[in-house]
Amino acid sequence: MGLWRNLFAGLRGLFGKRQAEKELEDELRDFLEKSAAEKMRAGMSREQARRAARLEMGGVEAVKENVRSASWETHFETLWSDLRFGARLLRFNPIFAGAAILSLALGIGANTAIFQLLDAVRLRTLPVKNPQEIARVVFDRRGSRSGNFSTRYPDFTDAIWEQIRANQEGFSGVYAWAPVQFNVSPAGEVHNVQGLFVSGEFFETLGVEPALGRLLSAADDQPACASAGAVLSYSYWQQEYGGRRDVLDRKVAINRHPVPIIGVAPRDFYGVEVGRSFDVAVPVCAEPLINGENSQLKSRIGWWLSVMGRLKPGWTVERASAQLRAISQRIFEAAMPPEYNASNAKSLLAAKLIAIPGGSGASDLRESYAQPLWLLLALAGLVLLIASANLANLMLARASVREKEMAMRMAVGAGRGRLIRQLLVESLLLAVIGAGFGALLARNLSQVLVTSMSTEQAPLFVALHTDWRVLGFTSALAIFTCVLFGLAPALRATSVSPGLALKEGGRGTTQGRTRFGLRRILVVSQIALSLTLLVGALLFARSLKNLATLDPGFRRDGILVADIDFTARHLPTEARRAFSDELLRRVRGIAGVDAAATAAIVPLSGDGIGHDILAGASGEAPDDVPVAAFNYVSPGYFETLKTPFLVGHDFDEHDRTGAPNVSIVNQAFVEKFAQGKNPLDFKFRVRRLMKTSAPYQIIGVVKDTKYSDLRENREVIVYTPQAQNEEAANDALILLRSSAPLAGILSAVKSTANEADPDADITFYNLHRMIDDGLLRDRLMARLSGFFGVLAVLLAVIGLYGVISYMVARRRNEIGIRMSLGADRRSIIALVLCESVLLLSIGLGCGVALALAASRAATSLLFGLKPHDPATLAMATVILAAIALAASYIPASRASKLDPVVALRNE
Amino acid sequence: MTDTSATLVQGTLDMLILKTLALEPLHGWGISQRIQQLSRGVFEVNPGSLFPAFRRLERAGLLECEWQTSENNRRAKYYSLTKAGRQKLRSETKEWERQVAAIARILQTAS
């Protein structure tokens, strides 16, 4: 009851302010009259009585004030008037306001942008029903499974998936899926879209409703695959088909097979992979149709599917995990590939299946980018701290200017708390405006970040929403920075004793020193923080340089890769090799092509082939067989890539099927298998699953090269002639080297290939660009940390400049006296620089300690240098010291040019 | 009333106001005079503490007010107790008596 009454009375007071004020005034006046009347009855004169009554009350305004503060609505009123006052102050100090809002907007904007990205990548859950019930089935550790791994998440074979589906108990529904690329171009061209193979239960288990038509169900995923249809994503439907409803009558050509479109997924559904989106989804049963000869479905060594599911009510992830563990061996026995040899089988049977939480989907993006993003957030946070320190310094300077105003107000009765509240409201206003702009900025910044993280091969798709978490983050930042840069100055400003401050000429001796002490501490911490950021920036820049200038063992520039797929010709195996050779011959004949060769693997593309190596020409396999990386190449491969031979020579046309097995190996192979001996005498056999080859002879040793990743350790690589392979692929992967511009060569290759096969699908890669894309993350870290480092140094130096200038202004009298007593320019400059050097040394000292501690977080991201690299630390220290000293020199030299007479007359 | 301990004085003042209004509704001056009378001059409440107390008690739902014509033919704000106010007065009085008895006991035994 009382609460409502209070509320209504308060609202009445807020909105009927004049009425309420008048009532109070009337009441008090009435009291005074009655009091005066009483005194007059006691014998005082009218004047005396009136005066006595007023004195007794103690001041009508003061009483009114006390009454007002007993009601809650006044707090709103004071807040409102504080805000208006603060806004007026900002309007009359536009430069200060502009600088403050700009630095806040940048700082808060950068932080929010990175947080938004982190939120989308790391923290958010899938846009499906009850994502906390979703779990993913995986192996409990990375075992040594053998076979063909063809997709981004090659967890299981189809046989294993079927077994899981049949034997699992903890899930109310499970599904399998695999992200792939589909060529949706009808013929001759290659137009790749993001494809998805899904099992029938996919959409139903996730609880997703169609936006148009229907979604795939279990009936669509039968072995016969009679009713196979395609589901489009909403964005693909809008993009490619203009959002027209007649899309349900059309078919989409997937790898030249027309598949009817049966529906469109809802707007915000992008699949179960964070950081990617799909365009077309088809059932798993359609895989043999689409992949043709390369179909993985029936192969028990084809690892390509990932499995997720929705837990039954009452089942936890741990319980489901335990059940999966228990049935693991049974599953693997049932799905055992016939091609496996004894040791393959043993390691498969030893593996265990478990369940892990899957509410945030699968994401290779998350794995590579989660740590860098957290690091970047920390860096951005430090920049915001430095900017806040600058703001605090600015506010402290203004606080000393407003000393008299504060003193006056306290002298007429304002409480200290009231003044502090008002000053904080001013800071809050700044912070809120800055945060508002920052939030707007963040939206663009995060989009820019996502774009810079995308490559053509792997386009990034991140659903950047400004959801409650992001807004909460921004608000928290705003309040935090407001307190950070507003509280200390507010406390300082109101700690004056009014008497002292109101006296004229109070230049503040002891008081000034303590206030100056706070500014010094701020500057020292700014220097320390910006040194840390600078060290970080230099570390990442050097790491990037190390990677970019790393010698991969082969030529990077001027190499074009053409993948000419002639599946449409339906050539039998024997004819394929001849056709490949023909294509290679033609490409070699193109003007401008210096050298060309074919290979099975393009180095640093991420693909790879691995087989067991059995030493010696005969003998049993030991228990632990070493594995080597393989590449099947044509003659001329090493010449094309400019990888030098150390011993021996290249393959030639005689090395074909029927001829003795020959191989070329790298230095690492020789060191591992044939130390001390002549490599040309070393024989070995290659075991692929069940089949062990005839002995191989080594005819050449080449320099070590990188195989699949620039950051890998030395790989043992074996090259064998493509002509000696039993199977032949339906495509020719041609690498060519040219000193002419690659664009021209590209079109020449295209026309040459089309002459030989008008229906061929040709995809081009620029090797240099491909390698650069692989360094995307490192480039991003270097660029952003560099940007933050520069910003931090700038802010810290501005802060230092401000403090030194203030110090000079404060000590003008002293400088004047010194000069008139005979000090020359140099000693004045030294005096000022001394202060600067003191601040710098303390700041740099703390900064080095902080940098050493903090840079450990970046260890895994750096290449070729340790986080405590002394050269980098020294470089950063020297750079910062030099810039800071240069900045301090300006006020120092200004001080030394002072006319002593003017300085002494200073007021 | 001089300011010794703010909370103690505030609570006591509230109780005094409630008590003076227990008999009949009064305006501000009337309450001030009545307190002075009833306490035989020991307590002289200054208006600076009185009016904020009125507002506080009003907001807490213990008092209600009405504008009426007073003795000198002017409009004055008359305060009266609500039901909650009466209850509060009863409970406060009981509590006060309890405390006073306890202090008296302590003082008796000490000397």
CA–CA separation, A548 and A36 (whole Å): 93
Q: Would you give the end-to-end CA distance of chain B in angstroms?
A: 29
| Same domain membership, residue A677 and residue A799 | no
Output the CA torsion sign for A237, A240, A244, A245: negative
* Token code pair at residue B37: 């009378």
In a domain, A374, yes or no: no
Please tell me the distance from the alpha carbon of residue A198 to that of residue A192, in angstroms, as a whole number. Answer: 18
Give domain status of residue A367, yes or no.
no
Q: Determine which of B13, B29, B35 to mutate to test the interface with A (most A C-beta atoms within 10 Å).
A: B29
Region of A496 please: left (phi>0), alpha (psi -120 to 50) or beta. beta
Indicate if the alpha-carbon torsion angle A424, A425, A426, A429 is positive or negative: positive
Q: Where are the beta strands (DSSP E) in A184-333?
A: 192-198, 212-213, 230-232, 251-254, 257-264, 280-283, 302-303, 306-311
Average pLDDT of chain A? Answer: 88
Interface mutation vs chain B, best among A1, A31, A65, most B CBs within 10 Å: A31
| Mean pLDDT calculated for residue range A667-674 | 92
Residue range A192-219: mean pLDDT, rounded: 93
Residues B13-52 have pLDDT tens digits of: 888 889 889 988 998 888 888 888 887 777 777 788 888 8
* Among A560, A609, A606, A566, residue whose Cα is nearest residue A587: A560
Mutation choice for B interface testing from A25, A55, A67, A68 by most B CBs within 10 A: A67
Residues of B within 8 A of A35 (CB-CB) are 29, 47
Query: Could you give the dihedral angle defined by the CA atoms of residues A189, A190, A191 and A196, in that order, rounded to the nearest 10 degrees?
Result: 140
CA atoms within 13 A on the CB side of B27: 23
A63 with B55: Cβ contact below 8 A: no
Asked if residue A602 lies in contact with residue A561, where contact means CB atoms within 8 angstroms, the answer is: yes
pLDDT of amino acid B10: 64
Contact flag A10-B52 (C-beta cutoff 8 Å)? no
A73 min Cα distance to partner chain B (Å): 11
Please name which of A369, A358, A481 lies closest in space to residue A119, comparing C-alpha atoms.
Answer: A369
User: Which residues from chain B sit within 8 angstroms of residue A34, using beta carbons?
Assistant: 29, 72
Q: Determine the residue of chain B that is closest to A67 in CA distance.
A: B52
Q: What is the mean pLDDT of residues A805-819?
A: 83
* CB neighbour list of residue A641: distance below 8 Å, 6 or more residues apart: A554, A555, A559, A597, A603, A705, A735, A737
pLDDT-derived band at A495, boundaries 50, 70, 90: confident
Give the helix/strand (H/E) hosting A115: helix A94-118
Please answer whether residues A556 and A775 qualify as being in contact, where contact means their C-beta atoms are separated by less than 8 angstroms: no
Cβ distance B74 to A30 less than 8 Å, yes or no, reads: yes
Q: Is the pLDDT of residue B6 over 70?
A: no
Residue of higher predicted confidence among A774 and A135: A135
pLDDT for A497-517, tens place per residue?
Answer: 777 666 655 454 444 555 567
Task: Check A33 against B74: CB less than 8 A apart.
Answer: yes
Q: Check whether B8 has a pLDDT greater than 90.
A: no
pLDDT at A510: 41
Residue with tokens 């014509």: B69
C-alpha dihedral, B8 to B10 to B14 to B20, nearest 10°: 90
Let me know whether A93 and A152 are in one domain.
no
Average pLDDT over every residue of A238-247: 91
> Tens of pLDDT along A175-196?
999 999 999 987 767 888 999 9
Tell whether the model's pLDDT for residue B7 goes beyond 50: no
Report yes or no on A382 lying in a domain. Answer: no
Tell me: do A487 and A497 sit in the same domain.
Answer: yes
Q: Contacts of residue A67 in chain B, CB cutoff 8 Å?
A: 51-52, 54-55
* Separation CA A624–CA B3 (nearest Å): 90
Q: Where are the alpha helices (DSSP H) in A42-72?
A: 46-57, 60-69
Of B89, B88, B66, the C-alpha closest to B79 is B66
DSSP string, B57-79: HHHTTSEEEEEEE-TTSSEEEEE
Q: Are residues A442 and A423 in the same domain?
A: yes
| pLDDT at site A500 | 67
Q: Which whole number is the average pLDDT over A617-628?
A: 80
Question: Lowest-pLDDT range, A509-513, A778-782, B102-106?
Answer: A509-513
Question: Cβ of B46 and A33 within 8 Å?
Answer: no
Choosing from A439, A472, A503, the residue where a domain stops is: A503
Check: CB of residue A111 under 8 Å from CB of residue A257: no
The per-residue pLDDT for A870 is 92
Q: Residue A207 and residue A121: Cα distance in Å, rounded?
A: 22
Instruction: List alpha helices for chain B, DSSP H.
Output: 6-23, 28-38, 47-59, 83-110
Angle at A358 between CA A357 and CA A359, to 5 degrees: 105
- Residue A681: inside a domain: yes
**Which residue has 């660009």 as its token pair?**
A769
Distance from CA of A416 to the nearest CA of B (A): 18
DSSP characters over A378-399: HHHHHHHHHHHHHHHHHHHHHH
Do the Cβ atoms of B59 and A9 come within 8 Å?
Answer: yes
* Whole-angstrom distance, CA of residue A568 vs CA of residue A572: 12
Residue with tokens 């993350």: A777
Does residue B2 register a pLDDT over 60? no
Over range B90-110, report the average pLDDT.
Answer: 88
Q: Is residue A706 over pLDDT 90?
A: yes
**A753 CB-contact burial (10 Å; exposed 0-12 / middle 13-18 / buried 19+):** buried
CA distance A440 to A656: 65
Q: Which of A39, A60, A66 is the best mutation test for B, with the most CBs of B within 10 A?
A: A66
Could you tell me if residue A372 is inside a domain? Answer: no
Q: How many CB pairs under 8 A join A and B?
A: 78
Same domain, A334 and A245: yes
Closest chain A residue to B71, measured at CA: A34
Do A201 and A268 sit in the same domain of this protein?
Answer: yes
User: Is-contact A482 A428, C-beta < 8 A?
Assistant: yes
State which amino acid sits at residue A247. V
Q: How far is B22 from chain A (nearest CA, A)?
A: 19
The region, left, alpha or beta by phi > 0 then psi within -120 to 50, assigned to residue B74 is beta
**Predicted local confidence at residue A906, as pLDDT:** 58
Beta carbons within 10 angstroms of residue A495's beta carbon:
14
Instruction: Collect all residues with Cβ–Cβ distance below 8 Å to A113 and sequence separation of at least 6.
Output: A441, A442, A443, A445, A446, A449
Q: What mean pLDDT do residues A319-337 have?
A: 93
**Position A644 pLDDT exceeds 90:** yes
Query: What distances in angstroms separate CA A866 from CA A246, A861, A875, one per listed residue?
Result: 60, 10, 15
Helix orientation angle between A17-41 and B28-38, rounded to the nearest 10 degrees: 40
d(CA A178, CA A132): 21
Q: Looking at per-residue confidence, does A216 or A493 come out higher?
A: A216
Q: Is residue A612 domain-shared with residue A680, that is, in the same domain? A: yes
Q: How confident is the model at residue A265 (pLDDT cuts 50, 70, 90)?
A: very high
State how far the Cα of A716 lies from the Cα of A699, in Å rounded to an integer: 16
* 3-state SS assignment for residue A463: coil
Q: Which residues of B fall within a CB distance of 8 Å from A63?
A: 47-48, 51-52
In one letter, which amino acid is A905? R
Tell whether the model's pLDDT for residue B111 goes beyond 70: no
Q: Which of A479, A532, A486 is nearest to A389 (CA)?
A: A486
Q: What's the confidence (pLDDT) of residue A504?
A: 55
For residue A842, being part of any structural domain is answered with yes
> A175: which strand partners?
A308
Whether the pLDDT of residue A857 is over 70: the answer is yes
Q: Is A706 helix (H, G, I), strand (E, B) or coil?
A: coil
CA distances from A645 to A301, A648, A705 (A): 36, 7, 12
Q: Test B52 with A57 for CB contact under 8 angstroms.
A: no
Q: Which two tokens stand for residue A800?
A: 């230092």
Together in a domain, A621 and A634: yes
Rounding to the nearest 10 degrees, give the CA dihedral for residues A348, A352, A353, A355. -150
Higher local confidence (pLDDT), B12 or A295? A295
Distance from CA of B102 to the nearest CA of A (A): 32
How many angstroms away from the CA of B96 is the closest CA of chain A?
A: 23
Residues A278-310 have pLDDT tens digits of: 999 999 999 998 888 889 998 999 999 999 999
B49, B57 Cβ separation under 8 angstroms: no
Which residues from chain B sit within 8 angstroms of residue A59, using beta carbons? 48
Please tell me the distance in Å from A50's CA to the nearest CA on chain B: 15
Given a contact cutoff of 8 angstroms between Cβ atoms, the answer to whether A762 and A603 are in contact is no
> How far away is chain B from the Cα of A72, in angstroms, using its nearest Cα?
9
Tell me: do A766 and A785 sit in the same domain. no
Determine, for residues B58 and A9 on separate chains, whether the beta-carbon distance falls below 8 Å. Answer: yes
With an 8 Å Cβ cutoff, the interface of chain A facing chain B consists of 1-3, 5-6, 9-10, 23, 26-28, 30-31, 33-35, 37-38, 56-59, 62-63, 66-67, 69-72
**What digits encode the pLDDT tens for the residues A371-394?**
888 999 999 999 988 988 888 888
In a domain, A53, yes or no: yes
Interface test with A, best of B59, B74, B75 (most A CBs within 10 A): B59
**Residues of chain B positioned with their CB less than 8 A from the CB of A10:** 59
Element (H, E) at A366: helix A364-401
Q: Across-strand partners of A198?
A: A177, A283
- Shared domain for A300 and A427, answered yes or no, is no
ipTM: 0.84
Residues of A in contact with B60 (CB under 8 A): 2, 6
The Cα of A31 is separated from the nearest Cα of chain B by a number of Å equal to 5
- CB contact set of A538 (below 8 Å; sequence gap of 6+): A789, A872, A875, A876
Residue count of chain A: 907
A26: closest chain B residue by CA: B76
First-to-last alpha carbon distance for chain A, in angstroms, is 63
* CB A123 within 8 Å of CB A139: no
CB nearest to B51's CB, from A3, A10, A67? A67
Q: With contact defined as beta carbons under 8 Å apart, do A777 and A543 qualify?
A: no
Domain match, A482 and A517 both: no
Helix, strand, coil % (nearest 5) of chain A?
55, 15, 30
A214 lies in the same domain as A178:
yes
Count up the domains in chain A and report the number: 5
Q: Which domains does chain B have, with CATH numbers?
A: 6-110 (1.10.10.10)
A496 pLDDT more than 80: no
Residues of A in contact with B58 (CB under 8 A): 9
Instruction: Name the residue range of residue A628's domain.
Output: 559-772
Confirm if A168 and A323 have CB atoms less than 8 A apart. yes
Would the CB atoms of A35 and B29 count as touching at under 8 Å? yes
Q: Is the pLDDT of residue A480 over 70?
A: yes
Q: Domain end: A735, A750, A772, which one?
A: A772
Lowest mean pLDDT among A649-663, A788-802, B61-75: B61-75
For residue A304, what are its two tokens?
Answer: 């390509």
Q: Which residues pair with A264 in a beta bridge?
A: A212, A232
**Which residues, at least 6 apart from A868, have a Cβ–Cβ distance to it below 8 Å?**
A852, A855, A856
Chain B residues in contact with A69 (beta carbon < 8 A) = 52
Among B46, B59, B70, the residue with its CB nearest the CB of A71 is B59
pLDDT, residue A560, reads: 94
CB contact under 8 A, B61 and A35: no
Spatial CA neighbour of A736 closest among A599, A600, A630, A606: A599
